[in-house]
Amino acid sequence: MEQKSFFRLIFLIVTACFIISFTSTNFSHSPSSTTLLLDCTTTDSSSSPLCASRNFLFNKKPRPIPKTDPKPTKPKTHDHVSDTPNHPLDPLTITELNKVRSILSSHALFASRAPHALHSVVLEEPDKDLVKKWEKGNTLPPRKASVIALVGLDTHVLTVDITSGRVELEDSPVRVSGYPMMTLEEMNQVTLAPFSNDDFNRTIISRGVNITEVNCFPLSSGWYGKKEENIRVIKSQCYSNQGTVNFYMRPIEGLTILIDLDTKQVIEIVDTGPAIPIPGSTNTDYRFENLATKPDKTRPLNPISLEQPRGPSFVIEDNYLVKWANWEFHLKPDPRAGVILSQVRVHDPDTRETRDVMYKGFVSELFVPYMDPSDAWYFKTYMDAGEYGFGLQAMPLVPLNDCPRNAVYMDGVFAAADGTPFVRDNMICVFESYAGDIGWRHSESPITGLPIREVRPKVTLVVRMAASVGNYDYIIDYEFQTDGLIKAKVGLSGILMVKGTTYQNKNQVKKDKNGNEEELHGILLSENVIGVIHDHYVTFYLDLDVDGPENSFVKVNLKRQETEPGESPRKSYMKTVRNVAKTEKDGQIKLSLYDPSEFHIINSNKTTRVGNPTGYKVVPRATAASLLDHDDPPQKRGAFTNNQIWVTPYNKSEQWAGGLLTYQSHGDDTLAVWSDRDRDIENKDIVVWYTLGFHHVPCQEDFPIMPTVSSSFDLKPTNFFERNPILRASPNFEHDLPRCGAEFVSA
Ligand SMILES: *[C@@H]1O[C@H](CO)[C@@H](O)[C@H](O)[C@H]1NC(C)=O
Ligand SMILES: *[C@@H]1O[C@H](CO)[C@@H](O)[C@H](O)[C@H]1NC(C)=O
Ligand SMILES: *[C@@H]1O[C@H](CO)[C@@H](O)[C@H](O)[C@H]1NC(C)=O
Ligand SMILES: *[C@@H]1O[C@H](CO)[C@@H](O)[C@H](O)[C@H]1NC(C)=O
Ligand SMILES: *[C@@H]1O[C@H](CO)[C@@H](O)[C@H](O)[C@H]1NC(C)=O
């Protein structure tokens, strides 16, 4: 019976135990009385009447919505005020940020009348060799802050020694094009800026829109020439929030407001779309309380969770040092990158050493170009890390839904524009995950006479954050496997940036005399709503140090080899050809299905017992490459996406793929520019850059909010271990996993 096996599958999927929350123990009734939560860690499941009860899988009534959560699941927050740094890479503490602020308050740079603000205050990481030499118990290297300040239109990079109070100005002001990422304060102020302009109010009113029902949203302007020269500007697009919280679906199309980012004054209002109606609010809401009340024929899902009866098996030492299974790494929140992983090391069960894999890994930049060249759309080519701050946009994660119950949360401690520290709660979560997958297995067929059934469940450790950059939500996961693999995963969700149109149906779209439809630059998703085609690129910085910093990049090319006449009944076979990259140009990789390669990062000074160099490989998965012209202004700024892989020699100043200053940058300080120096990369401390891309041609299912789309890439050990490192992994046993859910019963 199909349904039966489906439900059996659900049971197999959940290793630990189900948490059941429901309104009554009485399955024939569902009065909206109290909500019971069964917690495996506190309840003896075998004696609980709930655990022994028959399930309510077949209770088809929709789940009632609790008015308030009877048992809040908000994890404990800890008081950061007394935090002290314990590791050279620990982020700046509240005390340290306050000190930096007070040191800078008397600095000459900020004495002038020119407007000034701190656009970034983060730890100035000590040099790599100092960090590597440091051991627990040693005194910390001098604690320093790296500060990016804007004074007038000049960007200054300062290093503040927190102990001595000394301030060093580096190559000041910075000579590359562009400005630092916006501050949260600026974004807030720009949101309100249009409303202080008479013309704006008049335009809105003339559109028949109630001015109190308008939301304007700051959109980085990119760089296209004159309008963006010698001034910091931002554009604003407005929406009607009348009748919906999902105002993004109600664009006031064609209205673009150009704003001076410093004075917050409106420079120009362009309205190309008075004839375009504002799409309606019908069906745009996505909130549970407004959607869950109507029953439909879908079989309701019972609550599901990931539980560990004996608690998590990882620890977070000294606030930031994660240790789990064979892995250990330093994890910290960052206002620009979101999450930074450092000193990622793995335990080798054969040699009993803890071996270096990656010194530092993070999201370096994003590039999100929209594919509509019209006035209100051409500039929409965002760089979400360098312009908006990927970490600044990471909102608190929602327990039980963003991360399972067994998750542990980490807060971000960042600085506001005046240097005042603030805490971003629950910005990162860490949890062990089990998705019902298999780590390895083997069964023997009866013909061998061997009664073998060996299977190991695949349990991983996930580090997660979710950034909401305006309408869009990006979920970033770093997933560690016990077999030595690290998976970097990007999930896209949130709300589309849509365009208003006069069309309500495809059949209205104009055709030319040859029958070709007018170019809509997207797909009609609902009446008067076009989902505009766009791309997402997420570029990762991966300073791999496989068994130490000196590594080489090897392209292992897979090639067809023809056999000699008479050599074999076969005409051809596939072989590998290894090419060690000598310089940066050899490390610029464009992926190709019909000219495949593996991409190894090896340590040629360290070999396995049988003589293979130890290594890791970058394993691309579904991805996309930009089709824009390389001379198109946004693509020049986003030139770091011109290849999927780049390899550069380690340089502390080259970490942000779109340049240190990305806002209105011209593309003169990108990864592409650095890589064109063609420096030596063989047997050097190298950094690998991988870009994960998505083409997004929207479809109706993306309205009014998008189901998550994911892709990923792997860093996989390749001749790094002597043999399968998870041979000794333990299987699951029934007695280890108390069943606190209901039993499966056939309908
Ligand atoms: C369960 O249902 C029966 C009727 O079938 C009713 O008498 C009883 O009070 C209900 N119990 C609860 C706890 O709602
Ligand atoms: C524009 O309208 C808003 C909302 O009514 C109001 O607060 C603001 O003062 C108006 N701006 C001007 C310049 O009149
Ligand atoms: C505009 O919207 C506000 C808030 O929803 C409401 O109080 C007011 O009556 C509206 N004005 C008009 C003219 O519709
Ligand atoms: C590593 O090997 C290369 C040759 O492959 C050699 O030139 C270099 O000196 C070696 N480095 C160390 C630290 O042994
Ligand atoms: C390090 O990077 C900076 C910024 O790109 C550059 O100016 C400098 O020349 C680089 N140093 C080396 C040794 O490549």
Domains and CATH numbers, the chain: 83-171 (3.10.450.40), 184-291 (3.10.450.40), 315-512+521-734 (2.70.98.20)
Report the Cα 174 to chain-centroid distance in Å: 29
Buried-state track 537-568, b at ≥16 Cβ within 10 A, e below 16: bbbbbbbbbbbebbbbbbbbeeeeeeeeeeee
Sign of CA dihedral 156, 159, 162, 165: negative
212 Cβ closer than 6 Å to some ligand 2 atom: yes
| 3-class secondary structure, 347 | strand
Which ligand number lies closest to the CA of residue 210? 3
Nearest to 232 by CA among 272, 263, 273, 196: 263
Closest C-alpha to ligand 1, atom 12: 26
Question: Which residues are CB-contacts of 565 (< 8 A; sequence separation ≥ 6)?
Answer: none
53 Cβ closer than 6 Å to some ligand 1 atom: no
Question: pLDDT of 689-711, one tens digit each?
Answer: 999 999 999 999 999 999 999 99
Element (H or E) spanning 433, and its range? strand 421-443
Query: How much is the CA Rg of the chain, to the nearest whole Å?
Result: 28
In whole angstroms, what is the distance from residue 14 CA to residue 307 CA?
A: 9
Which ligand number lies closest to the CA of residue 24? 1
Give the per-residue SS3 of 564-614.
Answer: CCCCCCCCEEEEEEEEECCEHHHHCECCCCCCCEEEEEEEEEEECCCCCEE
Check residue 229 and give left, alpha or beta (phi > 0: left; psi -120 to 50: alpha): beta
In the block, residue with structure tokens 């016990």:
482
33 Cβ closer than 6 Å to some ligand 1 atom: no
The two tokens of residue 171 are 């190559």
Closest C-alpha to ligand 3, atom 9: 210
> What's the first-to-final CA gap in the chain, in angstroms?
10
> Which residues in 444-549 belong to E strands, given as ranges?
453-469, 472-481, 486-494, 498-500, 522-526, 529-532, 534-544
pLDDT the model gives residue 74: 54
> 472 exposed, middle or buried (CB, 10 Å; 0-12, 13-18, 19+)?
buried
Instruction: Determine the atom of ligand 4 nearest the C-alpha atom of 548.
Output: 13
Q: Are 495 and 712 in contact (CB under 8 A)?
A: no
**Residue 2 main-chain phi, psi, to 5 deg:** -65, -45
Question: pLDDT of 415-474, one tens digit each?
Answer: 999 999 999 999 999 999 999 999 999 999 999 999 999 999 999 999 999 999 999 999
Residues pairing with 356 in the sheet: 345
In the block, residue with structure tokens 């948490």:
19
The two tokens of residue 36 are 């019971």
Check residue 280 and give left, alpha or beta (phi > 0: left; psi -120 to 50: alpha): beta
pLDDT the model gives residue 308: 85
In whole angstroms, what is the distance from residue 673 CA to residue 671 CA?
A: 5
Centre a 10 Å sphere on the Cβ of residue 575 and count the other Cβ atoms it contains: 10
What is the DSSP code (8-state) at residue 415?
Answer: E
| 3-class secondary structure, 11 | helix
Mean pLDDT by 10 residues, the chain (747 residues): 45 32 31 34 38 36 48 62 96 98 93 88 98 96 97 96 94 92 96 97 95 96 91 97 97 98 96 95 92 78 84 95 98 98 96 96 98 98 98 96 95 97 97 96 95 96 97 98 98 98 97 95 98 98 98 98 97 98 98 97 97 98 98 98 98 97 97 98 98 98 98 98 95 84 72
pLDDT the model gives residue 14: 35
In whole angstroms, what is the distance from residue 523 CA to residue 519 CA?
A: 10
Q: Are 357 and 544 in contact (CB under 8 A)?
A: yes
Instruction: Determine the atom of ligand 5 nearest the C-alpha atom of 669.
Output: 5
**Residue 211 main-chain phi, psi, to 5 deg:** -60, -25
Residue from 199, 200, 201 whose mutation best tests the ligand 2 pocket (most atoms within 8 A of CB): 201
Instruction: Determine the atom of ligand 2 nearest the C-alpha atom of 201.
Output: 1
Question: pLDDT of 190-236, one tens digit each?
Answer: 999 999 999 999 999 999 999 999 999 999 999 999 888 999 999 99
Residue from 195, 198, 204 whose mutation best tests the ligand 2 pocket (most atoms within 8 A of CB): 195
Nearest to 553 by CA among 650, 482, 624, 639: 650
651 Cβ closer than 6 Å to some ligand 5 atom: yes
58 Cβ closer than 6 Å to some ligand 2 atom: no
What is the DSSP code (8-state) at residue 262?
Answer: T
Kindly name the residue from 83, 384, 473, 483 that is annotated as catalytic.
384
- Distance (angstroms) between ligand 4 centre and the Cα of 75 equals 50
> Which residues in 225-353 belong to E strands, given as ranges?
233-240, 251-260, 266-271, 314-317, 321-324, 327-334, 338-347
> 382 exposed, middle or buried (CB, 10 Å; 0-12, 13-18, 19+)?
buried
Cis peptide before 173 (omega within 30 of 0): yes
211 Cβ closer than 6 Å to some ligand 2 atom: yes
pTM: 0.90
Helices (H), 2-80: 2-13, 49-52
Q: Are 113 and 428 in contact (CB under 8 A)?
A: no
Query: What is the four-CA torsion angle of 70, 71, 75, 78, rounded to 10 degrees?
Result: 80
Closest C-alpha to ligand 5, atom 7: 653
Q: Are 543 and 618 in contact (CB under 8 A)?
A: no
Closest C-alpha to ligand 4, atom 13: 605
Q: Are 500 and 279 in contact (CB under 8 A)?
A: yes
Q: What is the DSSP string of 95-158?
A: HHHHHHHHHHHT-GGGTSSS-EEEEEEEE-PPPHHHHHH--TTSPPPPPEEEEEEEETTEEEEE
272 Cβ closer than 6 Å to some ligand 1 atom: no
Q: What is the DSSP string of 653-676?
A: T---TT-S--BT--SSSSHHHHHT
Kindly name the residue from 370, 472, 478, 537 that is annotated as catalytic.
472
Residue from 210, 214, 215 whose mutation best tests the ligand 3 pocket (most atoms within 8 A of CB): 210
pLDDT the model gives residue 747: 64
In whole angstroms, what is the distance from residue 312 CA to residue 323 CA?
A: 11
- Distance (angstroms) between ligand 2 centre and the Cα of 188 equals 17
User: For the chain, give me the number of helices (H) and strands (E)?
Assistant: 9, 32
653 Cβ closer than 6 Å to some ligand 1 atom: no
What is the DSSP code (8-state) at residue 517?
Answer: B
Closest C-alpha to ligand 4, atom 12: 605
Instruction: Determine the atom of ligand 3 nearest the C-alpha atom of 242.
Output: 5
Q: Are 317 and 329 in contact (CB under 8 A)?
A: no
Instruction: Determine the atom of ligand 3 nearest the C-alpha atom of 213.
Output: 2
Question: Which residues are CB-contacts of 569 (< 8 A; sequence separation ≥ 6)?
Answer: none
Contacts by residues 136-144 (CB-CB < 8 Å, ≥ 24 positions apart)? 140/85, 140/86, 140/87, 140/88, 141/88, 143/85, 143/92, 143/96
In whole angstroms, what is the distance from residue 273 CA to residue 262 CA?
A: 28
The two tokens of residue 215 are 């939301």
Is residue 676 annotated as a catalytic residue, yes or no?
no
In whole angstroms, what is the distance from residue 597 CA to residue 600 CA?
A: 9
In whole angstroms, what is the distance from residue 179 CA to residue 231 CA?
A: 10
Question: Which residues are CB-contacts of 102 (< 8 A; sequence separation ≥ 6)?
Answer: none
Question: Which residues are CB-contacts of 475 (< 8 A; sequence separation ≥ 6)?
Answer: 464, 465, 466, 489, 490, 491, 492, 493, 708, 710
| 3-class secondary structure, 621 | coil
Question: Which residues are CB-contacts of 513 (< 8 A; sequence separation ≥ 6)?
Answer: none
- Distance (angstroms) between ligand 3 centre and the Cα of 210 equals 6
Is residue 472 annotated as a catalytic residue, yes or no?
yes
**Biggest alpha carbon–alpha carbon distance for the chain:** 87
Instruction: Determine the atom of ligand 2 nearest the C-alpha atom of 200.
Output: 1
In the block, residue with structure tokens 């000041």:
172
Question: pLDDT of 225-237, one tens digit each?
Answer: 988 899 999 999 9
